[in-house]
Each structure stands twice: as structure tokens, then as C-alpha cells.
Amino acid sequence: MLIFVDESGNFTIPHHGKRNLSCVGALIVPETAHNDLIGAFVKLRDMWAGSLREVKGNTLREEQTAELIDLLVDRGCLLFICATEMSLNSASMIANFQREQSEYITENITDAHHPLLRRQVFRLRQRFESMPAQLFLQSVLLTDVIRKAIDESSVHFAMKNPPELGAFRWFIDGKDKTKTAYEAAWELMAAGLIQSKGIEKPGIAVVEGDYTFFRRSFMDADPKWPDYLPKPQSRGPFQHGMIWNLKKVLYDSLSFVDSKNCCGLQLVDIVTSTFRRALMGRLKQQGYERLGELMRRLGPSPVELHLFNSNGSQRGFSEYDNAVALIDSRSQLVGK
């Protein structure tokens, strides 16, 4: 499968009384559908924008976003989104969380480690500590949406299209011609951050699923849990999961790419922007009627707000209820 990742919103706390939903979206395109999808999208883009090589989601009309969503639904694509409402976040709690996450990087580094390694790890910690708050929040949601995409798409394709689990090809919207310091720092830390979340809350697999292609690509012949890691918090006393190589899933094929040269990134920009515009009341229902059909859920809703305040996370925000209700009604359980 191919996974295209982009953000929408600027991750800054707005003036009092204003809203600022900010989110990161991951659009999964089955490899078997990719070429056909891109060909169809280019035809649409040419009709919308003429000779322009890139269209932005926030410039499209309702009939255009609806047509694009139809295209994605018909080709079996999936959309995962992690969002935060910045007006509900606390600047002090964001700063505290950033400090804690930065300290975690050097938590197990001692004087016994090689001086070069110590310098490299502490330099990485310094990058996270000095990162602007909006980039830090974006990195948190980027990590969360990638973990969500891995966990839930693996269940979906194990049930629906097992060969797609043989490869995860990641394309993340790059912000410059060369990899930025933020992107390089996130890439170094991403697997460790996802791993720690997986230990606290392990992912799921389904007995009925076919994981043949996944095992072949991402599991060792005799996988054993590393002695240096704490045991995962099991969901039940008799439930033993697969032990697979997260670094291979994430890093075998990961690129930061200019969206001008990548139609898949233009697609995820459009649907992530459509999600944001829908919830903020900036898009009529016609423009996102079928958006929920791209989304899958493990619980009652595929939409969850990640908040950095005393409440943590919550399922909804009253001002977004109408749009979320429509998305919920069209979404399906993972694997359906």
C-alpha cells in the first residue's frame, strides 16, 4: 500500500472566541489501484486548474471535493485523521508535555555510553526542546496518525486484500527541497515513539485475517520480545500477539516529498482540508457527504480530538457535532 501524509491548520492557539482545528491526515491507497487513481485525478485536476500542476484543498468548491471523494471511495482508499482543537489547548500544558517528551529521549543515557552517542542523543533532545510549539504538536499528531494507520489498515487489509500488507510505502509532505531539521529529528524518533505507545496500548490483529504477506515482509523467522523492552500491557491473559519489525514497516520506504511532484500528496491535502473545512462549518454538506466512507473506526467514531489540557482527549466538541455525526453515520468498522 501507499500512504500519503499531510497536515491542515497551523497548530497555533487562536484569539479568544475563535476556533482553529488542526489535523494530520494519512490517505492509504491500495497499490493495485494507485495508477488508475492517479490517472483519473490528473484528468479532474486538468479540468479544475488547467495547466497548474497542483491544486489545494482549501480552494475547491463543494462539487469538486465531492467528486474527488467519490474517486477515492470507489478505489478502496482509506483515510485516517488525528486532530486537535487549538482553542481548547493550554500553552503551559503543551510546554510541559514538550519538556517531558524531550527528557524521555535521554532517559536511559548514562555516563557508561560512548561519548559520541551521548552527544548525538543530547543534540536530538535539544532539537525537540527548542522546536516551536506548533511543530512539536504537529509531530505528536503525525506520530499518532501513523500508528493509527499501521494498526487499523493492517486489520482492514488482512480481512479485505492481504497482498497490500506486503509493503508500506510512506510519502510525507516535505517543507523544503532538502529535509528540514524538524523532519530529520522526527524521523530519528518516530519508531521509538510509536513503539512506546504500542507497549502501553498494544495494537490488535484478528484471528480471521490473512497476515501471510505481512509476516513474510516484517517478521523474523523466530521472533522474540527484546529483553531490554518492558512487556506490552496485554489485553487479556491468553492473548498473544505478533512480534513484528516496526522499523521495517516505517523506514523501508519513507520519503519526504514536494507535493508539486506527487499527486498522492495533493489527494491527501484535499481530503484532510475537506475534513477540517467540514468540521469548522466552511464547507456545505454536499462537499463531504461521503467523507465518512473513507474512514474506519474501532469504536463509535473515527473522529477523536487530541487535547493538551487537563481533559486529555475527547470524542467530540459540540460545535463540530453535526459534521461529525454525518461522518460517523457513513463510516464502517475496521475490516468492513
Residue 165 carries which DSSP code?
A: G
Dihedral sign, Cα of residue 277, residue 283, residue 285, residue 287: negative
Give yes or no for a contact between 21 and 276, defined as CB atoms under 8 angstroms apart.
yes
Name the pTM for this structure.
Answer: 0.90
Q: What is the DSSP letter of 106?
A: T
**Backbone phi, then psi, for 335, in 5-degree steps?**
95, -10
Average pLDDT of the segment spanning 268-287? 97
User: Does the pLDDT at position 225 exceed 70?
Assistant: no
pLDDT category of residue 221 using cuts at 50, 70 and 90: low
Containing 42, the helix (H) or strand (E) segment is helix 31-49
Is 15 or 53 the better-scoring residue by pLDDT? 15
For residue 119, how many C-alpha atoms fall within 13 Å in the half-sphere facing its CB? 3
At 111 the pLDDT is 84
Confidence of residue 255 (pLDDT cuts 50, 70, 90): very high
Question: Torsions phi, psi of 171, nearest 5?
Answer: -130, 115
| Helix (H) or strand (E) segment spanning residue 41 | helix 31-49
Please, are residues 10 and 22 in contact by the beta-carbon 8 Å criterion? yes
| Residue 228 in this model has a pLDDT that exceeds 80 | no
Average pLDDT over residues 35-40: 98
DSSP 230: P
pLDDT (0 to 100) of residue 53: 81
What average pLDDT does this structure show over 103-126? 84
Q: Assign 176 a pLDDT band (cuts: 50, 70, 90).
A: confident
- Residue 269 pLDDT > 80: yes
CB–CB of 258/177 below 8 Å?
Answer: yes
CA distance 4 to 25: 8
CA dihedral 46, 47, 50, 51 (to 10 degrees): 10
Rounded to 5 degrees, φ, ψ at 230 are: -65, 150
Report whether 279 contacts 323 (CB < 8 A).
yes
**pLDDT, tens digit (0-9, with 9 covering 90-100), for 46-68:** 999 877 788 999 999 999 999 99
Written as nine digits, the cell of 288 is 463531504
Locate 23 and state its grid cell.
489535523
Q: Has residue 238 got a pLDDT over 70? A: no
Model pLDDT, residue 101:
85
